[in-house]
Structure 1
């Protein structure tokens, strides 16, 4: 029995020495640097939260997602506290800061020869999105009964779609007033 214990202890010592020798590459792991084992974070997770909360910096979102690994937990934390913790400096050694988008260049003199300046695209309105420009002139006032009334169930999907589009157009025009 004593020999079996000696063999097990010798085997354990050999395994520990082997692991110590092979893991001595000198580079710290992400868990060593951050102080916790980071979870997998996808770009979809980052985009989801940054679209919901555009005022929260992306580095704060990524750091919290590395800790929690869950969009729901990070979202709840933002809703409860109103902010996310700033990542420590060790975070930026693994994930360098992404440069902020460059500010819009100053407007050039219209008399200048270069016409390569990109003109900003006009904002799309609901009126232009649903092509209701011609109906603005026709319909001056819309009564409240016409806007959100119940629609009758139509027989075909095409008629139901047309009815829905018409109700949507009336609601947009009424909201414009």
Structure 2
């Protein structure tokens, strides 16, 4: 019986030392976060929050961050929203670690207006078609613009064919727009 007591005491001492050593090795912020939240938070980036916020703009960012801290996965949090339709709000202790921000995610109508206000690059500039615009080549028939291409032997030839078809479509759309503007100006 004495040996059993010695084994139990030795086991308890080993467990106590192990817990004491492992809790002293962590940084104080991790201990306080896990103590405050009741679980060890997973690393969460702003990109993860933005991804879910863009997919589900009606979910508050604090709910998203809290769920990502628990799961650590955009996929799991997205599936939870799809299955339940909402994410649980964080407890009050969460706000001691992550204070609320006054910045709110833009609503879809606001996002559209901000997208319009942002300076955009034209397709002519993006695809380097300035030289072809200057040449003012005649507009090919509509059925030939970006029409069906023959399958090329190499990937490079297929890519060049695709780029050429894109360029033709962009130039044709520009030409149509210019003719519509001219018709509108004369009318």
TM-score normalized by the length of structure 2: 0.55
Residue of structure 1 equivalent to 2:64: 61
Find out whether 1:124 has 2:121 as its counterpart: yes
In structure 2, what is the Cα distance between the partners aligned to 1:61 and 1:82? 13
Higher helix share: 2
User: Match for 1:165 among 159, 163, 166?
Assistant: 163
| 2:139–2:172 contact (8 Å) kept in structure 1 | no
Q: Which runs of 5+ in 1 are unaligned?
A: 102-119
State how far apart, in whole Å, the 1-side matches of 2:84 and 2:137 are: 49
Contact 2:53 2:64 in 1 (8 A): yes
Match of 1:165, SS? Answer: helix
Match of 1:107 in 2: none
1-structure distance, mates of 2:85, 2:125: 35
**3-state SS of the aligned residue for 2:42?**
coil
Residue 158 of structure 2 aligns to a residue in which SS?
helix
Q: 1: CA distance between counterparts of 2:19 and 2:128?
A: 70
Q: Cα RMSD between the aligned structures?
A: 4.2
Q: Report the TM-score, using the length of structure 1 for normalisation.
A: 0.58
